[in-house]
Amino acid sequence: MPEGHSVHRLARQFADCFVGQALSVSSPQGRFADGAAALDGAVLEAARAHGKQLFLDFAGDRVLRSHLGLYGAWSFGGTDRFRGASSIGAPRRIGEREALDDGAPPGGPPVPPPPVGAVRVRLVGDEGWADLRGPALCVLETRAEAEAARARLGPDPLDLHADPAPFVAAVRRSRRPVGALLMDQAVVAGVGNIFRAESLFRRGLNPMTPGRALGEPVLLALWAENAALMRTGVRLGRIVTTDPADRPGTPEERASPEHAHLVYKRQGSPCRRCGTPVAAGELEGRALYWCPSCQR
């Protein structure tokens, strides 16, 4: 599932490439036909992310709110003047490549290709287009409805103005394991399985520790760890939680995505800090990875 950094990159791309334009909106798949008809021709006024949800604000009190879920992705294309990532979402791509519309004459308007697959929504602007496939959620709402949905989410570590106090309070009053609470979007928005595993490892916290057993300084440090890791993800376009010195092998091997993490999906491999085999299990239906020695 795409984590919060990917959705923030999506918001930036929409802001850079489509905000201020009257967009042609359609639903080639047909499952969003009514919403597309209501948005067609409207000006996109803003694009924003909160956790794993994207909010596209259109003129006329209309918001297209989407959640990519496990399989959703936005793909992009455009004229020779369009400069944006070609795909953001799932399946994950290592480094988002630039995409041009080979069918448009230089300087001409965008010429989107025929839809491929089940395109829930297609947005076409002055220089490019965006296709949404496979989302877990895609709804048209008023600003008030969208804000009510956002208010049900926990604070987002990628929001520079976010107050971590609600996160700290929610964890400290819960008996649930901190590893489960980090994945609860009502507690903290945007953290997924990779950020959960890596931030707990970096703070030396056992994922099964009850939330109520952790003090405020520990939780504020955990919040800051996730904020730093996620900001790196926004900057690089992928999750990298290791320093070069942490990565074994040749320079080419160190650049491999398999070497980007400290404990995530490294079951049985030696911990890169202490050498203890990385453990794996399941917590509330999701795979869990940790070092039994570093995270006692």
> If we measure between CA atoms, which residue out of 245, 50, 62 comes closest to residue 149?
50
Take residue 166 and report the two structure tokens written for it: 């609600």
- Residue 23 and residue 40: Cα distance in Å, rounded? 6
Q: Considering only CA atoms, which of 100, 189, 88 is closest in space to residue 132? A: 88
Could you write out the three-class secondary structure of 106-130? CCCCCCCCCCCCCEEEEEECCCEEE
Q: Contact, 210 vs 219, CB < 8 A?
A: no
Strands 119-124 and 137-141: what pairing?
unpaired
Of 89, 56, 78, give the one whose Cα is nearest residue 125.
78
Q: Which residues pair with 267 in a beta bridge?
A: 278
Do residues 95 and 9 make contact, with C-beta atoms less than 8 angstroms apart? no
Q: Which positions are annotated as active-site residues?
A: 2-3, 52, 286
